[in-house]
Amino acid sequence: MNEFLKATIYSDTEPNEGQKKAFMDFLTKKYGSGVLLSWEHDDKIKGGFKLFVGAEVYDWTAEGRFAQLKEALAGIKGEGDNIIPLIRDTLNTWIPSAMAEEVGTVITVGDGIAEVSGLQNATYGETLLFSGGIRGMVQDMRDDEIGCILFGDDEEISAGSTVRRTGKTAGVPVGEEFIGRVIDALGTPIDGSGPIAASGYRAVEHPAPGIIDRQPVQKPLDTGILAIDSMFPIGRGQRELIIGDRQTGKTAVAVDTILNQKGKDVICIYVSIGQKASSVAQLVQNLKKRGAMDYTIVINASASDPAPLQYIAPYAGCAHGEYFMERGKDVLIVYDDLSKHAIAYRSLSLLLQRAPGREAYPGDVFYLHSRLLERSAHLSDEKGGGSMTALPIVETQAGDISAYIPTNVISITDGQIFLESDLFFSGQRPAVNVGLSVSRVGGDAQTKAMKKASGAIRLDLAQYREMEVFTQFAGDLDDETRNQLVYGQGLMQMLRQEQYSPYTMSEQVVILVIMLAHVLRAVEPGDIKSVIAKLLQYFKDKRADILEKIEKSGQLGDDDKAEILKTAEKFIEGR
């Protein structure tokens, strides 16, 4: 039994026999014989017609032809006065063409998910256009229907609504104009400062740079946090996980790192996923207050936003970062946090009826974060030499870093900074656990001065922590053990740092040289922090030349070290 393809003309007036013959000739040429043509009256169409052939639509109404012209004009590339002749030429030479537009039908909709039939040629990740102008992205493909996530209020969509393909991969507008702005996951400004004139459009999903296109991570990206830069250095192009329980200062570490990039020609991107809108507003105010918004883009998919926006937000942030990286710039991107991102993806997957696995997460949840974080890189000089450094944040429950999502992200990243609750509540801030934190890039991402100055600080701290546990059960202590404990307590005090107060690299070098040489052995551990602050001010006033030399050269010669110790001892004597 032969199946006929049905074609229907919708117009205000019925076509005459000559017009019907022209339609049949077109349909036979395009689809072959066996097309059944019919006409239906539609008084909404004034001039022109719409031809429905299966799931495809040929829109020859005034609106349809205007949409074609608009698309042709949107494709013009030019700047300033050069663009006017291009527009004039396009208008003079433009001829509307019979373009098939594939149209589907919504079967069910709810919870940010739409099931759609009729779009046989839709591709994974393609943007679909729903009635009311709401956009969605193809997320699930089946034999007879597709699952689509919606980037808007699904109340405006109902079963039976029409859906159109756009032929475009889901993406976001990008450009220099976004710097200093707060936007949502789709690139729409939400800071009340007016529209943004984007320079281009970039797909949110993009392959990571290949091995040949990368170069080793060697150039440091200083955080300004002594505990990190001295022991767990971060290089440009690295992915360093910040992990810990709720309210242990994870975001504070990321924000301080952003503040420390001031004047260093680094573009910073902060992606908020599932946070309270008030928290993000406060963070933006702090960045503005300290002049950091001049080089920062904030992307917010708050807890009140639908799960699809929370899911796409980090990929959108990554697309913005790649735009700058491919232009030879250095980028720092913070994902805060990927735990909530995984939860949003789990919600979408369960609604799309995908089989749940461990902890109800879908089987591809590892790929969710690996394809995001692998896009961070330090590109080769042939590719412009730009870099994108990622600081993903993951929240743990009761310090359990062996849970599903934490272990996944740990295995993807190049190290982790573990913030411990007990340390945080004891006043040790940032609460970096020296034993469980690591940087797999290590000394390669340090300046020679920092590498030389930091010496055996990790070993000294590890010995102190072991001795501290042991002495809880011991009675009398010998002088050597007591001195070791006092020295360790001093090191822990040295690593305490106020929020929004990053150190320069030269200041960190001075502090480390002085502490590891036991110059402050006579100072009570509780006074170390205040003494260091006064000591740094003394160096700025009396020996700014040493700080400047270390900062510019990145080197620490034996003479410089001797001068630092001599100046420090002079300061101690004068106290």
Active site members: 440
CA dihedral 123, 203, 108, 104 (to 10 degrees): -50
Interatomic CA distance for residues 444 and 232, integer angstroms: 11
Match 């400004």 to its residue by tokens: 189
For residues 307 and 295, the answer to whether their CB atoms sit within 8 Å is: no
Closest alpha carbon to 497 in 287, 222, 220, 224:
224
Q: Classify 31 as helix, strand or coil.
A: helix
Do 386 and 325 form a contact (C-beta atoms < 8 A)?
Answer: yes
Q: What is the CA radius of gyration of the chain?
A: 30
Residue 493, CA distances (Å) to 427, 431, 519, 532 in order = 10, 11, 15, 10
Q: Give the integer Cα–Cα distance in Å for 240 and 438.
A: 9
Contact indicator for 328, 388 with CB cutoff of 8 Å: no
Q: Could you give the CA distance from residue 131 to residue 462 in angstroms, rounded to a whole number?
A: 62
Measured CA to CA, the distance from residue 113 to residue 108 in angstroms comes to 8
Core vs surface per residue 257-280: b (16+ CB within 10 A) or e? bbbbbbeeebbbbbbbbbbeeeeb
Of 318, 319, 368, the C-alpha closest to 341 is 368
CA distance 170 to 309: 12
Which residue's structure tokens are 């001599």? 566
Residue 551, amino acid:
E
| φ, ψ for residue 9, nearest 5 deg | -95, 130
Kindly state the DSSP code that residue 426 receives in the 8-state scheme: T
Helices (H), 158-198: none
Please answer whether residues 111 and 154 qualify as being in contact, where contact means their C-beta atoms are separated by less than 8 angstroms. yes
Of the candidates 473, 474, 471, the one whose C-alpha atom is nearest the C-alpha of residue 463 is 471
**Does residue 488 sit in helix, strand or coil?**
helix
Quote the DSSP letter at residue 412.
Answer: H
CA-wise closest residue to 359 among 342, 375, 376:
342
Residue 41 in 3-state DSSP?
strand
Our CA dihedral for 54, 60, 64, 65, rounded to 10 degrees, sits at: 140
Say if residues 220 and 235 touch (Cβ distance below 8 Å).
yes
